[in-house]
Chains A and B, each alone.
Chain A
Amino acid sequence: MSLANPQRAASRVWLPLVFAVGAILLGTLFGFGMPAYIVFVSTSVLIAMVSLLGLGIVTGTAGMIALCQLSFASIGAWILEFLYLKTPLPTVFGAASFLVFMVIAGLITAVLGLVIGLPALRLRGVNLAVITLGVAAAVDTTVQQLGFPDQSTAHIPRPFGLSSDPNGDRGYFLFAVVITVVVALAIYALQGSRIGAAWKSVAFSERGTASAGTSVRTAKLSAFALSAFVGGIAGCLIVGQITQVNYLTFTPINSLGLYVLSIVVGSQLIDMALFGGILFVVIPEILKQFRVPLEWSSVAFGVLGIQALTSNSNLGTGVRAALFRRRRLREAARVEAAGDVAAVETVAEAPIPTGTGRPLLIVDHLTVEFGAVKALTDVSLVVEEGTILGLIGPNGAGKSTFVDAIGGFLPQHTGTASLDGEPLRGLAPHQRARAGLRRTFQQDRVPPSMTVGAYLRFVTRGKADPAAIADALQFFGCPDASIPLSVVDVGTRRLVEVAANLAARPKLLLLDEPAAGLSHDEHLAFANRLRRAPEHFGTTILIIEHDLDLVRSVCSRITVLNFGEVLASGDRATVLSDPKVVSAYMGETEML
């Protein structure tokens, strides 16, 4: 297993390159072997692929609805034409002009994409969809009124002096193949990188993303910018193919069609975006052969879209599920086995960690108000380095509010908090995470679109090497790094979350009910591991937990919150025998 992994990792690096070279070879054969018309139409397939790849970043990977992908294409096309016709630059760059201008156009479009993405920082879901649709309509009329620089008179020269005749079409097809392959490779690489993980994470949970030390703003804006960049490139490719464009190529209705197609195929998956490109062009082409009006293709896309959305599936995941069914079963079996290990494995009972005695987190007079409601009043506590502090209290006592406030999610609080002597005031959640203050969530905030290993790499911000990741996973009896999180059950996902955050080796980790969803046996195993965690990972822990047995077995000190105030604080035995604490808990038990 340990030997097989590096080999597999190595083959994963080379495999896309092999595919890329294969695709270019195939493209060459196709471009110079097929009839001219087929080659010309196939160039449209490639352009549709590039558009879908760009759209896949925002809608598929980062989970935002964007209905203006072709607006980006039209902006890119406009800039390319402008550079060709209204500036002296073509004489400077000569035969490479097209390529250079394409990159410039892409970059300027990316900046505009960034601006259009700005509202996404506060507006989500449908509100964002409406704004992107409004932008699409506005770009449409603006471009219509301005007109493209070619003004239907000039023709834009193709790259490297390619002509407009069938031979030029073949050459241009090859050019488009190379660009498509480069774009696909780049997006593939990005999706596997930290920024790609940030997109997937932000699509699932913004709070989870910030707590992993990644800026939500950067993640969202980079998705928009890159999507716009690729959209701009697609627009330039259209100009090169037709050598002349107008606003009708980029109407908002076509953007809608592209979006629906993106949903149908699941265009965040590279292969499916490529497949979608084929559908986008081939369905109308087939209709054309049968003399059916081309609008029927949009009808077909509409029906497919409704089908995909109502069945909550898409062609991409469907095809993959069918192809990888056996692998999934195998993976599921491995998860099962790992779960058994987690429950059964016994290690010598570790003692409750006692710490160094140095104060790590100092919270002073923390008060949080939601309007007239005081969620926390004058809470002060100290967490000593190397210990596990238990934060307990009945429902609604303000425990999670405390974690939110310390984690940076409630900047409006009063009072102070400092970590390792550094004041936390003014730091955003992702900055606190980077400063060594991590937290986990009561809710499931582990994005199912990643593998276990990718998630750990993301949360540790690339600091943990494969050995450290394997170590952290093994420490908590989590599934293997190559397992997709989508096949892992919710309880185990919470363990993976804990393992990931510990692998990031923060100074302090706030755990919000980490053991909810685990069986009793698993609870015991978890408690044993947690006791060893401060020493193993060099991390101090604050744990919120309802299960008093767990708290009693891991914490040296306990703080009890009730109605937002500290009811008792001190060492374990004293606090748990405090009559006030007992009555607070009894009250809750009676209510239950």
Chain B
Amino acid sequence: MNIIIALIVGFSSGALYALIGVGLTLMSVLTRVVNFSLVAVGVFGAYLSIRSAPLLLTLPPAAQTAITVVIAVIVAAIVSGILGWVEATWLSEATTTARSAVTVASLLLLISLSFILFGSQPQPLRPLLIGPLFLVGQVAITKVGVAMLVAAIVVAIATWLIVSHTPLGVRLRAVSDRQTAAELLGVNVKALQVGVWVAVGAVMGLCVSIIGNTAAADATSMITLIIPGTAAALVGAFKSLPLTIIGGLVVGALQGALTAFPSTTQLRDWIPILIIVLFLLWNQRKEVWDVAR
């Protein structure tokens, strides 16, 4: 198997990492938090939604699917909103580090809860999209991969449009940069922040419903997709959406390429993190001190 094929193989997982990374970067820019619970809320919503299946048996299959997805999105949005509300209420003035540490704690909580509620048995979380979109010789470009990449780009562009071209965007930036000043100007900071959490949570709920159990079939392994997701966002230093998308694709491609060569399996898990660290060290080489002055 040649290297080009192997790179393309990693594409679908890379696109997923890119979407997760975009969600993380978005939240980091707008709400000053690196949300380690990002994937967990989506997984929580999707896994809870399939519990509704017995109630929907009488409906036609299309309606069943639609209702399940809607439930997943709503649950994920609510869980994410609750977290956002906690952050906005008690940690509005705290550092990014402290705010992010809370999401580490909530990640632990959601992982344990999902262990208790969903176990590690496979769940009938059917993916919305499955199968190859088209074939390049032996290699399949998957529908899920394309959908994730499109979603990542759409979210990135939408964010860029909203933030730089609408009055809402002005307020969002104000809240993120100068929270107290924004409050004094009469902006409802809390509502805006919680709004971002709810919106990103909803996107993750939808995203997990689309990929279903093709990436990992049990809740806990799915939640750990946050790790390559943060790696992607790290490439953009939690600031740049385009770099994040590229980062996700690169991490996925590297993983795919390395899995294809069984002799490199030991390196498979180290090369992405190594490359990211080196890139960041180069990118942040001027950040010798903790504060500018």
Contact = CB atoms under 8 A, between A and B. Distances in A.
A138 B270 contact: yes
Contacts of A312: 94, 98
B94 to A, nearest CB: 7
A476 interface: no
Given A295-B112, A310-B102, 4 more contacts: A122-B280, A126-B96, A138-B270, A253-B108
The 5 A-B pairs of least Cβ separation, nearest first, read: A302-B109, A305-B105, A298-B112, A310-B90, A125-B97
B293 to A, nearest CB: 7
B34 interface: yes
Contact of B111 (A122, A129, A298): A298
B64 interface: no
Interface in A229-280: 252-253, 256-257, 259-260, 263
Residue from the set A137, A206, A259 with the largest chain B CB neighbour count within 10 Å? A137
Given A130-B234, A135-B273, A205-B290, A306 B109 contact: yes
A581 B20 CA distance: 57
Interface in A75-129: 119, 122-127, 129
B104 A305 contact: yes
Nearest to A303: B109
Nearest to B282: A122
A65 B98 CA distance: 10
B273 A138 contact: yes
B222 interface: no
9 contacts: A65-B104, A123-B280, A138-B269, A295-B112, A298-B112, A299-B113, A302-B105, A309-B91, A312-B98
A513 interface: no
B105 A309 contact: yes
A301 interface: yes
Contacts of B91: 309-310
Interface string A426-437: 000000000000
A578 B109 CA distance: 68
A263 to B, nearest CB: 6
B104 A142 contact: no
Grouping DSSP codes into helix (H, G, I), strand (E, B) and loop, the A interface class, with mixed when no group exceeds half, is helix
A589 interface: no
Nearest to B94: A312
Interface residues of A, number: 51
Contacts of A303: 105, 109
A130 B34 contact: yes
B283 to A, nearest CB: 9
Interface residues of B, number: 55
A131 interface: yes
A363 B228 CA distance: 51
B194 interface: no
B95 interface: yes
Nearest to B286: A122
A404 B293 contact: yes
Residue from the set A125, A126, A138, A142 with the largest chain B CB neighbour count within 10 Å? A126
B277 interface: yes
A256 B110 CA distance: 12
Contact of B105 (A126, A295, A306): A306
A400 B268 CA distance: 48
A296 interface: yes
Contacts of B104: 65, 67, 129, 256, 259-260, 305
Interface in B229-243: 230-231, 233-234, 237-238
Interface string B216-234: 0000100010010011011
Nearest to B230: A130
B291 interface: yes
A302 B112 contact: yes
B33 to A, nearest CB: 8
B280 to A, nearest CB: 6
Contacts of B150: none
Contacts of A130: 34, 230-231, 233-234
B115 interface: yes
A126 B97 contact: yes
B266 interface: yes
Given A125-B95, A207-B291, A400-B293, A146 B266 contact: yes
B49 interface: no
Given A119-B281, A137-B227, A145-B266, A127 B108 contact: no
